[in-house]
Amino acid sequence: MYPVFCSKKLKAPEHQVAGHSAKEGRLGPLVDGEGRFFKPFQHDFRGENEARFYKFFSSNKKAPDHIHGYFPAYHDIQVVEASNGSGKLPHVVLEDVVSDYLRPTIMDTKIGSRTWYPDVSERYFNKCMRKDRRTTSVPLGFRISGFKIFDHQESSYWMPDKKVVHGYNVDEARLAFRKFVSSNSLADSIPDCAFASDVYGGSNGILAQLLELKAWFETQTLYHLNSSSVLMFYENDESVLMKGGDDAVRAQVKLIDFAHFVDGNGVIDHNFLGGLCSFIKLIQDILESSDKSDETGTYRFGNGH
């Protein structure tokens, strides 16, 4: 049996951008405000499967330390009161990766040109195929599940409706990646990509981290991470940014959502890797075009978009 945990007050996370929400009395994840994230066991096998992944991965010595850093720390399973009032349920307890960010700007991107995988039910296969073909998953190799941007001009968060985000075509997805690093996201004008080099670029930026992950995916045959996401986030609170030094932005990549992982069986996760490479290319393009605009002083579209 799992340990029962009662004392602290758990509430819905402030900064969730995708997945089931605990708000409005539904079943969703909770946080304790002290750095832990409680994810309820989803129906069927999925909760157990995700717990299995975290358990195996956290003790896996074959994956190097710097790769472990890209996954939320695992703190076992605990039984707590579910967010929808249905009583006590087992929850996977993870590191709350945004807990020490004041106003994080966050994006959740589901990686892979297909979210289905061999041996799933026909029903699930059809559901996945429909979504993959309707969204940017098939053409781009990934799709944005959700994002929220803290806008400095308005001093508030902008979080587009999930349905709108799921309906993005390739150009709209590219635009979202530009808005993600812009100071004028809410305005209708062309995104200024003012934070592109701080967030995406640099030796500790998003791109550098994604390239480390890519190198691991080129050879690791342990896991196939079907339907998993890259969560990317950075500190966007003005007072923190003004106080801090070079790395006040603390741009971070984390891999999340392992309910559909399967054993690699000696084959690399080519589905995830292909999508990851496409994601990397998109970010590189934004960095390059924002570099060019710095040089000329005018904003220019690079690579025809």
Partner 1 sequence: MHLKAPEHQVAGHIAKDGKPGPLVDDKGRFFKPLQGDSRGEIEVKFYESFSSNTEVPDHIRRYFPVYHGTQAVEGSDGATMIVLENLLSKYSKPSVMDVKMGSRTWYPEASEEYIQKCLRKDARSTTVSSGFRISGFEVFDHRELSFWKPDRKLLNGIKVDGVRVALRKFVSSNTLSDTSSKPDSAFASSVYGGSNGILTQLLELKTWFENQTFYHFNSCSILIIYENEAINDNGARAQVKLVDFAHVHDGNGVIDHNFLGGLCSFINFVRDILQSVDESTEN
Among 24, 266, 296, 297, binds partner 1 (CB under 8 A): 266
48 phi/psi in degrees, rounded to 5: -65, -40
Q: 99: phi > 0 → left, psi -120 to 50 → alpha, else beta; which?
A: alpha
Least CB distance to partner 1 at residue 228 (A): 15
Give strand ranges (E) for the chain.
30-31, 36-40, 74-81, 88-95, 104-111, 142-151, 156-158, 223-226, 229-235, 252-256, 260-263
Under rule CB under 8 A, which residues in 177-196 are in contact with partner 1? none
- Under 8 Å between Cβ of 259 and 46: yes
Among 13, 28, 146, 275, binds partner 1 (CB under 8 A): 275
Among 120, 138, 187, 208, binds partner 1 (CB under 8 A): 138
CA distance 217 to 273: 6
Best CA proximity match to 110, nearest among 141, 72, 134, 133:
141
Distance of alpha carbon 107 from the chain centroid: 6
170 binds partner 1 (CB under 8 A): yes
122 binds partner 1 (CB under 8 A): no
303 binds partner 1 (CB under 8 A): yes
68 binds partner 1 (CB under 8 A): no
Q: Which stretch binds partner 1 (CB under 8 A): 43-51, 73-81, 278-286, 287-295?
A: 278-286
Nearer to partner 1, 85 or 304 (CB): 304
**Which residues contact partner 1 by CB under 8 A?**
113-114, 118, 133, 138-141, 170, 218-219, 221, 265-268, 270-271, 273-275, 277-278, 280-281, 285, 303-305
